């Protein structure tokens, strides 16, 4: 019953580009996608910048009528799912659909749809509310719609664990395949939260960068001058399969899933454990379950939000688990380029780990100019680094004290 699980496809809609190839090229070049907010008038907000997805047309992926009945986050998830299925050359019919499930995490679901509906209710009354409001704003709308579109009839649900949502979706999909409750899973995350209420809320919590005059340098993970994260949006979906299924259908295997660790800080609703203990336990748990040792990890995609506490505590957690090797393992925060995709962050960063292994290139942490004595590890500053990566770790830590760690390894016929 303890099946090996492999990744055979991935899809990405991100501020860097509208597919995995374009996104990867931008990451490898160290380009920032942060700019002025255009989704709404942010002139009265403390934060006026974000990492928006540009040029996305949902009609390229679905009927116009269907698109009108989906929030933007669901549209992103549908597009990324179809891309992933296409790369995996996965066809669902008959029994295949019965053995295929979907888990798509989201931090807040269709918040933009809800925000606009509240304005309509206030200005025009309850009779003008869209009859599709309920299914559009549900956090599980993405997983439900993808399941319907593909005919995937195994486990189908949404994980909501703040910024760890996408990573937890992938981790739970891994566990479902391992125990035999499905043979194939589509898993990842999606969020589209560049909305007035979201920016206002995170501004009130003093979590966002206010470097409005220099947007491309605003997201500064691990840098001494960091002043908060930048909100991004998008989706990433992985196709995950039991190894025997992938081999039987002749699928191209991109990587193998090695381990998943999830813990709680049980410390504070927004602040991380000040010693990084929860994150450290999640990393250790993922390693223990994978049978790998810290020295085998050749890249860490950090949570790296560019908030003062997160970056310091994550550094402490890595040191706790990796010891002296912490100073030699390459670490980067791709949030420096694409902002923080919130519930989709863990999913897109998992996909980036797979792409890093595929391309033997470690993406950089850009905007790293002023070293912080409390963040003194190798954050791959400013330029991508060539090098073979056979094992990669992705860290995701969320408000509420949620910690999720994913491990991927190079696929070999013998485990």
Residue 232: strand, helix, or coil: strand
What is the per-residue pLDDT across 120-174, written as a single tens digit (0 to 9) for each?
999 999 999 999 999 999 999 999 999 999 999 999 999 999 999 999 999 999 9
Which residue's entry shows tokens 């790369």?
Answer: 87
What is the per-residue pLDDT across 13-49, written as a single tens digit (0 to 9) for each?
999 999 999 999 999 999 999 999 999 999 999 999 9
* Angstrom distance (rounded) from CA 216 to CA 365: 13
* Angstrom distance (rounded) from CA 393 to CA 304: 13
Which residue's entry shows tokens 């908060």?
Answer: 228
Q: What pLDDT, on a 0 to 100 scale, did the predictor assign at position 56? A: 98
Inter-residue contact 355 to 260 (CB < 8 Å): no
Residue 170: strand, helix, or coil: helix
* Confidence grade of residue 95 (pLDDT, cut at 50, 70, 90): confident
Catalytic residues: 163, 303, 340
Residue 389 has pLDDT above 90, yes or no: yes
Inter-residue contact 150 to 102 (CB < 8 Å): yes
Mean pLDDT of all residues in the chain?
97
Number of other residues whose CB lies within 10 A of the CB of residue 169: 35
From 106, 162, 167, select the one nearest 138 (Cα to Cα).
Answer: 106
CA 209 vs. chain centroid, Å, equals 20
Sign of the dihedral defined by the CA atoms of residues 194, 198, 200, 203, in that order: negative
* Angstrom distance (rounded) from CA 276 to CA 296: 22
Residue 273 has pLDDT above 80, yes or no: yes
In this prediction, residues 300-305 reach a mean pLDDT of 98
What is the per-residue pLDDT across 394-411, written as a single tens digit (0 to 9) for each?
999 999 999 999 999 999
In this prediction, residues 207-222 reach a mean pLDDT of 98
CA 13 vs. chain centroid, Å, equals 11
Inter-residue contact 332 to 301 (CB < 8 Å): yes
Per 3-state DSSP, the chain is made up of helix, strand and coil in percentages (nearest 5) of 40, 20, 40
In this prediction, residues 308-328 reach a mean pLDDT of 98
Taken as a whole, the chain contains a residue count of 415
* Angstrom distance (rounded) from CA 71 to CA 60: 16
Biggest CA pair distance of the chain: 64
pLDDT exceeding 70 applies to what percent of the chain? 100
What is the per-residue pLDDT across 98-110, written as a single tens digit (0 to 9) for each?
999 999 999 999 9
CA dihedral 87, 191, 262, 269 (to 10 degrees): 170
Structure tokens at 338: 């694409």
* Confidence grade of residue 1 (pLDDT, cut at 50, 70, 90): low
Give me the phi and psi of 118, to 5 degrees please: -65, -40
Which residue's entry shows tokens 């748990």?
Answer: 285
Q: Domains in the chain and their CATH numbers?
A: 5-248 (3.40.47.10), 260-409 (3.40.47.10)
What is the per-residue pLDDT across 320-376, written as a single tens digit (0 to 9) for each?
999 999 999 999 999 999 999 999 999 999 999 999 999 999 999 999 999 999 999
Which residue's entry shows tokens 């899809």?
Answer: 11
The model's pTM is 0.97
* Confidence grade of residue 283 (pLDDT, cut at 50, 70, 90): very high
What is the per-residue pLDDT across 42-72, written as a single tens digit (0 to 9) for each?
999 999 999 999 999 999 999 999 999 999 9
Residue 62: strand, helix, or coil: coil
């Amino acid at each position: 019953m303890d099946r090996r699980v492999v990744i055979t496809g991935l899809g990405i809609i991100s501020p860097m580009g509208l597919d995995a190839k374009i996104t990867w090229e931008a990451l490898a070049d160290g380009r920032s996608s942060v700019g002025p907010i255009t989704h709404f008038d942010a002139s009265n907000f403390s934060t006026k910048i974000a990492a928006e997805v540009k040029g996305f047309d949902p009609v390229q992926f679905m009927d116009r009528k269907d698109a009108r009945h989906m929030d933007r986050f669901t549209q992103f998830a549908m597009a990324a799912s179809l891309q992933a299925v296409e790369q995996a050359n996965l066809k669902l019919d008959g029994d295949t659909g019965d053995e295929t499930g979907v888990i798509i995490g989201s931090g807040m679901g269709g918040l933009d749809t809800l925000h606009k509906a509240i304005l309509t209710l206030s200005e025009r009354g309850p009779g003008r509310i869209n009859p599709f409001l309920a299914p559009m704003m549900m956090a599980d709308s993405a997983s439900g719609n993808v399941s319907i579109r593909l005919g995937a009839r195994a486990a189908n649900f949404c994980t909501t664990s703040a910024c760890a949502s996408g990573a937890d979706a992938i981790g739970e999909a891994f566990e479902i395949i391992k125990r035999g409750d499905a043979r194939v899973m589509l898993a990842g995350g999606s969020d589209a939260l560049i909305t007035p209420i979201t920016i206002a809320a995170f501004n009130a919590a003093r979590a966002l960068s206010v470097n409005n005059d220099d947007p491309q340098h605003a997201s500064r993970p691990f840098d001494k001058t960091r002043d908060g994260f930048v909100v991004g949006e998008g989706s990433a979906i992985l196709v995950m399969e039991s190894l025997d299924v992938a081999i039987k259908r002749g699928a191209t295997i991109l990587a193998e899933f090695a381990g998943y660790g999830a813990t709680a800080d049980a410390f504070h609703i927004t602040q991380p454990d000040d010693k990084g203990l929860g994150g450290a336990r999640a990393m250790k748990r993922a390693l223990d379950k994978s049978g790998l040792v810290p020295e085998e990890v050749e890249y860490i995609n950090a949570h790296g939000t560019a908030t003062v506490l997160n970056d310091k505590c994550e550094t402490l957690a890595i040191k706790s688990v990796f010891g002296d090797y912490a100073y030699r393992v390459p670490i980067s925060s791709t949030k420096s380029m694409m902002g923080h995709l919130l519930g989709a962050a863990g999913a897109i960063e998992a996909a980036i780990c797979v792409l890093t292994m595929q391309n033997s290139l470690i993406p950089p942490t850009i905007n790293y100019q002023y070293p912080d004595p409390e963040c003194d590890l190798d954050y791959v500053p400013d330029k991508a680094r060539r090098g073979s990566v056979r094992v990669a770790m992705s860290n995701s830590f969320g408000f509420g004290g949620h910690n999720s760690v994913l491990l991927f390894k190079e696929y070999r016929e013998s485990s």
